[in-house]
Structure 1
Amino acid sequence: MGAGTEPDGSSRSDEEWERFLRESVAGVADAPKEPSARARDVAKRLAAEPGPAPDGWRAYTPARPKRRTGWYVAGLLASPALLAVAIAPGRIVDLFTGTDSAPSAAETGRPDQAPPAGPAQRPTMDRPFRGSPAASWADGAAGITVPKAGAVGWMSAAEVEQALARSRDFLVASNLDRGVLRGERPEKAIALVNPHQKDVQDLLGTAFRTPDEKNDPLLLFSRFQPSRTRLVGDVVKTRGRLTYREGERGALQVTADVTFVYPVARADTGGGDDARDGEIVRTIVRRELVLSWDDPAKVSTEPGTFSVVSYKYDMTNGGCGALTGYFTPPFGTDHRADGAGTEVDPYDRSTPIGRGEPSKDGCRRATRS
Structure 2
Amino acid sequence: MPHGDDLDARFNELVSQIDADEQRKMRASAAKGAKAPQRARRPRRARRGLLAAAAVTAVIAAAGLVLTYRPDLLTPSPVSPVRQAASIPPPEETQPVVEAPQKVGPFTDSKAEHFADGMAGFQLPKAKALAGLSKAEVRAGLDRVGKLFQAAYLDRETLMGAKPESYLKLLDPDERSWYRKKPRMWVNSFAPKTAELATNVIKVHGTTTLSTKKDQGRTVIVVKTNYLVVYAIRRPGQPDTTMRLVTHPKGVAEIYREEGHVVVWVTDGGASATPARCDVHDYFIHPMYEDSEPDAVQPSGPPRDPYELDKPESEGCATSTGT
Superposed pair shares fold, TM > 0.5: yes
Question: What does the per-residue CA deviation read over 1:222-258, in whole Å, with 9 as the maximum and x for residues that have no partner?
Answer: 0013422111110110001221122322222211111
Counterpart in the other structure of 2:16: none
- 1:207 maps to 182
Match of 1:365 among 297, 319, 323: 319
Q: Is the 8 A contact 1:155 1:252 kept in 2?
A: no
Higher relative contact order, chain-length normalized (CA < 8 Å, sep 6+): 1
CA deviation vs aligned residue, 1:195-239 (integer Å, no higher than 9, x gap) = 324xx743x22334xxxxxxxx2x310001342211111011000
Residue deviations 1:329-355 (CA, integer Å, cap 9, x gap):
112332743773332101112x25514
The CA deviation at 1:284 is 1.0
Q: Does residue 1:348 correspond to 2:308, yes or no?
A: yes
Structure-2 change in CA distance of 1:322 and 1:226 (3 Å): closer
Please state whether the residue corresponding to 1:158 is helix, strand or coil: helix
Q: Distance in 1 between matches of 2:195 and 2:253?
A: 31
Query: Which of 1 and 2 has greater Rg?
Result: 2
Letter in 2 for 1:207: K
Cα deviations across residues 107-164 of structure 1 (Å, max 9, x unaligned)?
Answer: xxxxxxxxxxxxxxxxxxx611123110111110101112222110121112212211
Within the alignment, does 1:178 sit opposite 2:156 as a pair?
yes
List alignment gaps of at least 5 residues for structure 2. Answer: 1-89
Higher strand share: 2
* Aligned pairs (5 A) from 1:104-115: none
Structure 2 Cα separation of the partners of residues 280 and 156 of structure 1: 47
Equivalent position of 1:64 in the other structure: none
Q: Structure 1 residues 134 and 339 mapped into 2: Cα distance closer, same or farther (>3 Å)?
A: farther
- Alignment counterpart, residue 222 of structure 2, candidates 247, 253, 261: 253
- Root-mean-square deviation (CA, aligned residues, Å) is 2.6
Structure-2 residue corresponding to 1:6 = none
The letter of the residue matching 2:112 is A
Aligned length: 229
CA gap 1:312/1:224 in 2 versus in 1, 3 angstroms: closer
1:230 aligns with 2:196: yes
In the TM superposition, what are the counterparts of 1:279-294 in structure 2 within 5 Å?
279-294=241-256
Could you tell me how far apart the structure 2 residues matched to 1:173 and 1:305 are?
Answer: 18
Contact 2:172 2:263 in 1 (8 A): yes
Identical aligned residues as a percent: 23
- Give the whole-Å Cα distance in 1 for the aligned partners of 2:258 and 2:312: 31
Aligned residue number for residue 268 of structure 2: 310
The Cα of 1:308 is off from its aligned counterpart by 1.8
Name the amino acid aligned to 1:134.
A
In 1, the alpha carbon distance for the partners of 2:307 and 2:279 equals 23
Q: d(CA) in 2 for partners of 1:327 and 1:305?
A: 30
Structure 1 CA distance, aligned partners of 2:293 and 2:193? 19
Give the TM-score taking structure 2 as reference length.
0.64
Flag as ranges the 4+ runs of structure 1 deviating above 6 A.
Answer: none
After superposition, give the CA deviation of every residue in 1:288-315 in whole Å (9 maximum; x if it has no partner).
1110112204xxxx94542122224332
Work out whether 1:320 is the aligned partner of 2:278.
yes
SS in 2 for 1:196: helix
1:291–1:306 contact (8 Å) kept in structure 2 = yes
Structure 2 residue aligned with 1:83: 98
User: Are the structure 2 counterparts of residues 331 and 260 from structure 1 closer, same or farther at C-alpha, using a change threshold of 3 Å?
Assistant: same
Q: 1:319, 1:283 → 2: CA distance?
A: 12
